[in-house]
Amino acid sequence: MFKRLSLIGAAASFAIPSVANAHSVPSTHFLETAKPYAPYEMLIGDWYTKLADQHATIHQRFKWGPGKSYILYSTYMIAEGHPEQLHFEGMMVWNGKSKALDFLFVLQPGSGAEEKGSVKAQADGTIVREVEMTDDDGDLEHFRQTFRSAAGGKLVTSMSRQTAKGWVTDAPGEIVHAVHAPATPAVHVTRMRVTSA
Cβ neighbourhood burial of 188 (10 Å; 0-12, 13-18, 19+): exposed
Position 6 pLDDT exceeds 90: no
Average pLDDT of 53-64?
90
| pLDDT tens-digit readout, 148-165 | 998 888 888 889 999 999
Average pLDDT of 26-40?
81
pLDDT value at position 143?
96
Position 64 pLDDT exceeds 50: yes
Average pLDDT of 30-37?
81
Helix then strand then coil, % of the chain, to nearest 5: 15, 45, 35
Distances 155 to 44, 46, 147, 151 between C-alpha atoms, Å: 11, 11, 7, 8
Of 68-72, 150-154, 181-185, give the range with the top mean pLDDT.
Answer: 68-72
> Going by C-beta distance under 8 Å and a sequence separation of 6 or more, which residues neighbour residue 118?
95, 98, 100, 101, 102, 103, 129, 130
pLDDT value at position 25?
66
d(CA 141, CA 133): 5
| pLDDT tens-digit readout, 109-155 | 999 999 999 999 999 999 999 999 999 999 999 999 999 998 888 88
CATH of domain 28-181: 2.40.128.20
Cβ neighbourhood burial of 62 (10 Å; 0-12, 13-18, 19+): buried
pLDDT value at position 17?
41
Position 184 pLDDT exceeds 70: no
Report if pTM > 0.85: no
Ordered by start, the domain boundaries in the chain are 28-181
